Amino acid sequence: MLLPPRDSRLPLDRDASARPGGPPFVAWALLWLLGGVIAFVNLAWDFLDPRKFFVIGRDFSNLQAAGWLADHGRSSCVFDVDCFRMALLDHIGLLSLQNYSYPPHALFIAAPFGLLPYPAALALWTLLGIAFFAWAARPHLPSGFPALLAPFTAAGCMNIWAGHYGFLFGALWLAAWHLLERRPRTAGLLIGLMIVKPHLALLMPFVLARRGDWTAFLFAALTASGLVLVSGLAFGWDYWASWVGGTLFTQAAMIGDTGQFFLRMMPTVAPSLLLAGLPSWAAWAAQAICGLAALAALWRFLPKDPVRAGLATACATLLVLPYAFVYDMTVVSLAALLVLYQGGTQMRPFWRAVAALAFLLPVMTVPLNGAGVPLAPLLTAFTLFWTIRLEPIPRPG
C-alpha cells in the first residue's frame, strides 16, 4: 500500500481553508440518497411478499428470539443450534439455517426486546439505533451538516434492512473516539461495551497502546471483564464454553462456504478473493498480507486527531478481519463520506469517482462479489489511505 510520509498532506490551495471542503451539498446528498434507495429496495421487496413479513430484519430475529428464550427461562436453547432454529420457527415463523452467534452477555441487550411482539420490538430497536447513531455521529461531521442523515448512508440503510447491531456498535465506536482525549474513562467504558461484537473491536487494544491511551485501555479491559463475569454468574459458564468451543468455529467455517449467499455480503479480503475463484491458500495469504499492511499503516501513520484515528481504525479493521458484513460498515461509510466531502476540491476527477464508489460500497458489495470482482477491499483500502492523508475538517464543538 502506497502511503504518505508521516506528516505530509495533500498540496492545498492557500485559500482552500476559507472555502467549503467538498462538492456542492446537492451533489453528494443525491449520491447519499442513491445508496439509501438501493438498500431500501431490499426492504420494500420483503414488504411486498407476505411470506417474508416475519423475516424483515432477519438478523434482528436472532436477537429477539434469544431474548424471548432468556425471558422464558430457556437460555440453554440459545446456544444449541438445533433448538434455537426450532425456536425461530415456533416463535417468529422463520425456517432458517441461522444460529445465535453473539456472546452470552449480549443476552442483556436481547432480553428487553424479547418481551415485545416481533414487529414492535424491531421498530423500537431500529428507532433507538437511528437516534443513538445520529447523536454519536454529530461531532464527526462537518459543521452545519445535518446529523439526522448520518444513519442513512448505504451501510446504515442495509443495517435497517437487516436489523443488525451496526448502529449500536457504530455509535459506541464514534462516541468513544470523540471522548477519548477529554473523558478517557468514559471512552474506555464505551470501548469495553463493544465486546457485544468482540471481533470488530479487535484493533482497539492495538491502537490505544499505539497512542498511549492507557486510562482508556484499562477501563475498556475492566468493562469487558466485568461483562464476562456478570454474564457468567447470571446465565452460567456453560454458555461461555458453548460459545467459545462451538459458535466461534461455526461462524469461522462460514467464510469458506462460497455456495452461500451471505458470503457475498462480506466486503473483506478472503471472501472476495474466494468468490473471485482464487485457491484457498492464495486468498488467505492475501488476507494475511493485507491485514499486516493495514496494521503497519496504523502504527506508522495513525493520525493524532482522535476522530480521524477512529475512522482510520474502522477502515483498517475491515482489512484485517476476514469476517464482517456490509451492515458492519456504518463507521467506514461515514469515513468514506468525509473523504468524498473534503477531498472533493483536492482530488482529481478519477479519484473523486473512486471516492463515490467507496461511499456506495455497502450496496455494491453483493453484486461485485457475485460477479467475482474483488473490488470491495481495494475501496476500503482507498478510504483508509485518504482518511489518514487528508487534513482534519471543521466540525461542531
Kindly tell me if the per-residue pLDDT of 1 is higher than 50: no
Cα–Cα distance, 144 to 161 (Å, whole number): 28
Angle of CA points 92, 266, 272, to nearest 5°: 145
Query: What is the reported pLDDT for 370?
Result: 87
Q: pLDDT class for 36, splitting at 50, 70, 90?
A: low
Mean pLDDT, residues 328-345: 85
Lowest model confidence (mean pLDDT) among 38-42, 219-223, 277-281, 299-303? 38-42
Q: What is the pLDDT of residue 313?
A: 96
d(CA 164, CA 334): 17
Q: Identify the helix (H) or strand (E) that includes residue 354.
A: helix 349-359
Whether 236 contacts 219, CB under 8 Å: no
Report the chain's mean pLDDT, rounded to a whole number.
82
| Cα 44 from Cα 179, distance rounded (Å) | 38
Residue 269 banded pLDDT, cuts 50, 70, 90: very high
Which of these ranges, 62-66, 147-151, 259-263, 321-325, has the smallest mean pLDDT? 259-263
AA letter at 251:
Q
CB atoms within 10 A of CB 318: 27
Q: Which residue has the cell 504518505?
A: 4
What is the SS3 assignment for 159-172? HHHHCCCHHHHHHH
Pairwise CA distance, residues 358 & 206, whole Å: 26
Alpha carbons 358 and 168: distance in angstroms, whole number:
22
pLDDT tens per residue, range 235-258? 877 777 777 777 676 776 677 665
| Mean pLDDT, residues 162-182 | 94
DSSP string of 249-301? HHHHHGGG-TTSGGGGG--SHHHHHHHTT--HHHHHHHHHHHHHHHHHHHHHH
CA distances in angstroms from 210 to 189, 309, 313, 315, 331, listed in the order given = 19, 11, 12, 17, 21
Residue 280 has pLDDT above 80, yes or no: yes
CB 356 within 8 A of CB 31: yes
The per-residue pLDDT for 115 is 92
Residue with cell 475512522: 311
Q: Which residue has the cell 446465565?
A: 235
Asked whether 216 and 188 are in contact (CB, 8 A), the reply is: yes
**Eight-state DSSP code of residue 51:** G
Cα Rg of the chain, angstroms = 21
Distance (Å, rounded) from C-alpha 63 to C-alpha 107?
8
Contact status, residue 366 vs residue 298, Cβ threshold 8 Å:
no
Read off the C-alpha cell for 52: 417474508
Spatial CA neighbour of 34 closest among 142, 152, 161: 152
Mean pLDDT, rounded, for 126-140: 94
Residue 394 has pLDDT above 60, yes or no: no
Lowest mean pLDDT across 62-66, 248-252, 271-275: 248-252
| Residue 23 clears pLDDT 70, i.e. is over it | no
The predicted pLDDT at position 21 comes to: 45
- Residue range 251-266: mean pLDDT, rounded: 74
Question: What is the rounded average pLDDT of the residues 159-187?
Answer: 94
Contact between residue 273 and residue 263 where contact means Cβ atoms under 8 Å apart: no
The set of cell numbers assigned to 9 is 498532506
**What's the rounded mean pLDDT across residues 312-336?**
94
Confidence label for 43 from pLDDT (cuts 50, 70 and 90): low
Let me know: does 85 contact 91? Beta carbons within 8 Å. no
218 near 225, Cβ under 8 Å? Answer: no
354 Cβ contact partners less than 8 Å away, ≥ 6 residues apart: 379, 382
Helix (H, G, I), strand (E, B) or coil at 148: helix
Calculate the alpha carbon distances from 147 to 91, 131, 132, 262 in Å: 37, 10, 11, 31
Q: What is the pLDDT of residues 211-237, one digit of tens each?
A: 999 999 999 999 999 999 998 888 877
CB-CB contact of 137 with 147 (8 Å): yes
DSSP string for 145-212? --GGGGGGSHHHHHHHHHT-SHHHHHHHHHHHHHHTTT-HHHHHHHHHHGGGSGGGGTTHHHHHHHHT
Average pLDDT score over residue span 253-277: 83
Cell digits for 38? 438501493
- pLDDT of 392 reads 60
Query: What's the confidence (pLDDT) of residue 373?
Result: 93
DSSP-derived letter for residue 142 is P
Between 99 and 26, the higher pLDDT residue: 99
Q: What is the pLDDT of residue 279?
A: 93
